[in-house]
Amino acid sequence: MKVLTRYIVWEIVKGALLAQLLLNTLFTLVTFSDELKDLGVGHYGLKEIGLFLLLITPRTFYELMPSAALLGSLFVVGAMANNREIIAMRAAGCSIFWIIRSIMLAGVFLVFIGLLVGEMIAPESEQKAQILRAEAQNTKPVASTPYGMWLREGDFFINVAQVPEEHVLADVSIYQLSDQRLVLWKQAKKAVFLNEGQWRLEQVVQSEITDKIVLAEQKDTEIWQTAIEPGLMDSVVITAEEMPIVELYKYIQFLRENNQNAKTFEQAFWGRVFNPLATFAMLMVSIPFVVGIRRGVSAGARIMMGVIIGLMFNIVDRISGHLGLVYGFNPVLMALLPSMLVFLGAVYAIRRAE
């Protein structure tokens, strides 16, 4: 039994890693064609595009792990079923539960590999990729941190905490120094790009600091004259998906302590917590199509059905996250629900096939 278990686990892990290679190749080609439209902007050349694609590969690897697990299991265990290896195993006394356990054991290895890449390598690599891309396309110095992006423009130092949508900034702080002394501090809840060289600041609080007094002022809106391009902000500010889960938790606590909206980051946090369950759910999806063999259904049809279910899972998973943010549903429930539904549906299908 141990030999058969190692055989199944090793074959599924190999199949999933091969599927990762194919999926990553396709994703890289699509991303490469998309990046070519920015070729020549600043000094963003083919070398920079190649480095950028290399640096975002770990994040892609982590995000594609559930899909790779599904495809790897479908192809590998499907081949075993077509070669009558599954029938031979069951004739030798191996139960369906034993086959499921062996497949889930392969999932443990895939989840471990995914977490190792996704939490240890991907966040830092993703940050370097975005900074590389931004610095290649722009000439202004930038520094990215888990608490936003810092940018310098002359005597002004700008911090942007979030980029909620394209060409829109949130929690913008502007500091002006003169002779190494702070002379102006300005904070805006929101900044909207108007045209080249102009942003509209909303809900502005400003303090002018002199040797004798501090002049405080509040404004509903204000025009901010700056040469900062919105693309620089969009590409460098770290999003929730790019933060390690520990830093993401700390940032959520930071937002709560400062009475700021943390729903987006909470949804991302719980999505990361339950991400391993998605891999197991995808492996469970493959089992009814390769264990419950029907003579009238070809292996290709079973694989196609499994792939469609996998794609539907990804769509439902994304929709549930957005619905949770829009309607204020419990982020734990919305992050867990898609995986649990697929997992329970696969268990029901296995029982029917058995």
Q: What is the pLDDT of residues 61-73, one digit of tens each?
A: 998 898 889 888 8
Q: Which of 142-151, 212-221, 345-354 has the lowest mean pLDDT?
A: 142-151
296 has pLDDT over 50: no
Q: What is the pLDDT of residues 202-217, one digit of tens each?
A: 999 998 888 778 888 8
Domain boundaries, the chain: 2-137+239-353, 147-236
Name the pTM for this structure: 0.74
CA distance 320 to 331: 9
312 has pLDDT over 90: no
Pairing, β 198-209 against β 214-225 = antiparallel
For the chain, counts of helices (H) and of strands (E) = 11, 7
110 close to 65: Cβ distance less than 8 angstroms = yes
Q: What is the pLDDT of residues 72-116, one digit of tens each?
A: 888 887 777 777 777 788 777 777 788 888 889 999 999 999 999
Give the percent of the chain with pLDDT over 70.
86
Strands lying side by side in the sheet with 198-209: 142-145, 148-153, 156-165, 168-178, 181-195, 198-209, 214-225
